[in-house]
């Protein structure tokens, strides 16, 4: 019996060591990003989140930004303006985040091949967007509305408008990864998260937000702070395979009256969506 306290003490130390190891933050990644106005504000927010999570070494190497762009437009930039190719050629990036519009997009394959040639361990993500103008046909059409009232839309209607686009992205990634297994592209389900947030607004469960229109800044669908932070939490969760729940209120929400409560809700939505989305590469 005299050994019991010693055994308990050893067990306690062993358990504490395991807990510390599990809780230890991952190593920071060096990130390259290319995209449009639904994406390029994300890297600084993720950098803020990584710092708050005590992740050391997170670094944004470059951001290639072109409004409304396909990935091929970033690839086709002349050498003096091309921010992505030099980083990939140097092999210094750990992760390349891309935002898409129209698929298929040959720029994705071009960048993946170049990146893997110089760094076989390079990871890739594609951002699943929310549908601009709430409708793919309007988005791709020549005449686009100057005003859209989103307040009356139900979740069922949002699903119907988004599912064809979501399927397009998923089918593309499945086919791409089958053709090029080394790519292992994963999807950041920002569009799914936005629908989940809008559901909360419709139900009156989003602190400080009473109408869906408040989540956007224009008819196209450029995001207000709520969606920017939500999407960035989704990227953080996919990049580091780590829950953002519990991180301090994000700077973009700090001045809002319900900022802290809203921040927590966005974290919970992001983690739930990412862990339940099969193609995020995270899982529960």
How many C-beta atoms lie closer than 10 Å to residue 11's C-beta? 10
Query: What is the per-residue pLDDT for 217?
Result: 97
pLDDT tens across the length of the chain (284 residues): 454 444 444 444 433 333 333 468 999 999 999 999 999 999 999 999 999 999 999 999 999 999 999 999 999 999 999 999 999 999 999 999 999 999 999 999 999 999 999 999 999 999 999 999 998 776 666 677 888 999 999 999 999 999 999 999 999 999 999 999 999 999 999 999 999 999 999 999 999 999 999 999 999 999 999 999 999 999 999 999 999 999 999 999 999 989 999 999 999 999 999 999 999 999 76
Which residues neighbour 58 within 8 Å (Cβ) at sequence distance 6 or greater?
A: 28, 29, 31, 46, 47, 50, 51
Its pTM stands at 0.90
Max Cα–Cα distance, the chain, nearest Å: 83
Query: What is the per-residue pLDDT for 8?
Result: 45
Domains, the chain, ordered by start: 31-280 (3.40.50.1110)
88: tokens are 């990939």
Q: Are 105 and 185 in contact (CB under 8 A)?
A: no
Query: What is the per-residue pLDDT for 284?
Result: 61
Q: Are 74 and 106 in contact (CB under 8 A)?
A: no
Q: Are 131 and 161 in contact (CB under 8 A)?
A: yes
């Amino acid at each position: 019996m005299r050994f019991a306290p010693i055994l308990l003490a050893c067990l306690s130390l062993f358990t504490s060591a395991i807990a510390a190891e599990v809780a230890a933050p991952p190593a920071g990644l060096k990130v390259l990003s290319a995209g449009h106005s639904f994406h390029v504000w994300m890297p600084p927010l993720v950098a803020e989140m990584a710092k708050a999570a005590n992740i050391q070494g997170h670094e944004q190497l470059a951001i290639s930004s072109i409004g409304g762009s396909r990935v091929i437009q970033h690839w086709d930039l002349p050498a003096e303006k091309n921010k992505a190719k030099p980083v990939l050629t140097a092999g210094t990036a750990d992760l390349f985040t891309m935002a898409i519009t129209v698929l298929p997009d040959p720029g994705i394959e071009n960048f993946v091949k170049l990146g893997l040639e110089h760094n076989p361990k390079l990871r890739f993500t594609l951002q699943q967007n929310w549908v601009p103008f709430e409708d793919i046909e309007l988005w791709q059409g020549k005449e686009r509305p100057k005003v859209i009232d989103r307040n009356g839309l139900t979740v069922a209607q949002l699903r119907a408008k988004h599912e064809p686009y979501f399927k397009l992205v998923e089918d593309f990634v499945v086919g791409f990864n089958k053709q090029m297994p080394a790519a292992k592209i994963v999807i950041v389900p920002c569009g799914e998260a936005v629908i989940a947030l809008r559901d909360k607004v419709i139900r009156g469960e989003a602190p400080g937000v009473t109408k869906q229109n408040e989540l956007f800044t224009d008819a196209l669908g450029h995001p207000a702070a709520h969606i920017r932070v939500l999407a960035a939490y989704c990227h953080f969760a996919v990049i580091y395979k780590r829950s953002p729940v519990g991180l301090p209120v994000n700077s973009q929400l700090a001045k809002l009256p319900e900022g802290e409560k809203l921040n927590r809700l966005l974290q919970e939505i992001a983690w739930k969506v990412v862990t339940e989305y099969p193609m995020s590469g995270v899982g529960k």
